[in-house]
Amino acid sequence: MATLIWTEPAVADLEEIGRFISKDNPPAAEKVGSKIIREAENVAVFPRLGRIVPEFGNPQIREIISQSYRVIYKFDEEGDLVAILRIWHGAKGIPQLADDS
C-alpha cells in the first residue's frame, strides 16, 4: 500500500465542499466528505485504479469520480506515494493544478 498524502489545495477543496453542502444539509456534507475520503484512500491501495486525466495526458496523474467530484491524484513510478492533488467539481471545467504537479 502506498503512502497517501493530501496536498493543501486538496484539503482546501474538501473543506469548501463540506462548507457549501452543509449550508443546506449538514448530514449530507458529512456523508459526501466521508465518501470522498474513503475513495481517495482506496487509490493508495490501487494507484493505477483511476483513469488518466484527459486534460493532462500524464499516466501518473489520474482521477476517480466520486459523485460530482473529480478526485485528482498523482503517484510515483514505484507506486509508493500517492498525492491527492485536487477535489474538483465536474462542472468547473478544466482542473487547476499547481505548477509542480
Q: Is residue 101 part of a domain?
A: no
Beta strand spans in 1-101 (E): 3-6, 51-52, 61-66, 69-75, 81-89
Question: For position 26, which CATH number holds?
Answer: 3.30.2310.20
Q: Is residue 98 part of a domain?
A: no
Cell of 57: 495526458
Q: Is residue 40 part of a domain?
A: yes
pLDDT by residue (tens digit) across 20-68?
999 999 999 999 999 999 999 999 999 999 999 999 989 999 999 998 9
Q: Is residue 8 part of a domain?
A: yes
Q: Is residue 36 part of a domain?
A: yes
Q: Is residue 59 part of a domain?
A: yes
Q: Is residue 47 part of a domain?
A: yes
Domain range holding 70?
Answer: 3-92
- Cβ burial of 80 (10 Å; 0-12, 13-18, 19+) is exposed
Q: Is residue 99 part of a domain?
A: no
Q: Stretch 64-89: mean pLDDT, rounded?
A: 92
- Prediction pTM value: 0.89
pLDDT at 2 over 70: yes
- Helical (H) or strand (E) element with 11: helix 8-22
Model confidence at 101, pLDDT cuts 50, 70, 90, reads: low
Report the domain count for the chain. Answer: 1
CA distance 20 to 54: 27
